Amino acid sequence: MLFGGFVKARSSMVGYPPGWEKISNHAQNVNDGASACFKDMASVNRFAARYRVAKLYTSCSFEGMTPLLSDGYSALMQVMLVYSAFEFWLKAIGLKKSQSHTLLRVHDTEAWAGEIRRIDPQMTMYKHCLNFLNSKHQNEIKKFIKSEPFNYICLAASIRHSFAHGFLSPNGGGADPECVKAICSKVTNTMMIIIDSSFRERIELLCEEMESLK
DSSP of the chain: -EETTEEPP-S--TTSPTTGGGHHHHHHHHHTT--SS-S-HHHHHHHHHHHHHHHH------TTS-HHHHHHHHHHHHHHHHHHHHHHHHHHTT--GGGGGGGGTTS-HHHHHHHHHHH-TT-HHHHHHGGGS-HHHHHHHHHHHTT----THHHHHHHHHHHHTT---TTGGG--HHHHHHHHHHHHHHHHHHHHHHHHHHHHHHHHHHHHT-
Per-residue pLDDT band for 213 (boundaries 50, 70, 90) equals: low
Per-residue pLDDT band for 214 (boundaries 50, 70, 90) equals: low
Closest by CA to 156, choosing from 200, 92, 90, is: 90
Amino acid 3: pLDDT: 32
What is the span of the domain harbouring residue 117?
Answer: 2-212
- 3-50 pLDDT tens trace: 333 444 454 678 999 888 888 777 777 777 767 788 888 999 999 999
Whole-number Å distance between alpha carbons of 24 and 19? 10
Amino acid 1: pLDDT: 37
Whole-number Å distance between alpha carbons of 169 and 153? 20
Whole-number Å distance between alpha carbons of 132 and 140? 13
Beta bridge partners of 6: 3
Amino acid 5: pLDDT: 39
Whole-number Å distance between alpha carbons of 175 and 180? 7
Task: Report the DSSP pairing between strands 2-3 and 6-7.
Answer: antiparallel
Amino acid 96: pLDDT: 92
Distance separating the N- and C-terminal Cα atoms of the chain: 27
Amino acid 8: pLDDT: 47
Closest by CA to 75, choosing from 159, 152, 1, 18, is: 159
Mean pLDDT calculated for residue range 155-174: 95
Mean pLDDT calculated for residue range 176-195: 97
Total of domains in the chain: 1
Rounded mean pLDDT of the chain?
89
Residue 85 contacts residue 47 (beta carbons within 8 Å): yes
- 75-129 pLDDT tens trace: 999 999 999 999 999 999 999 988 998 999 889 999 999 999 999 999 999 999 9
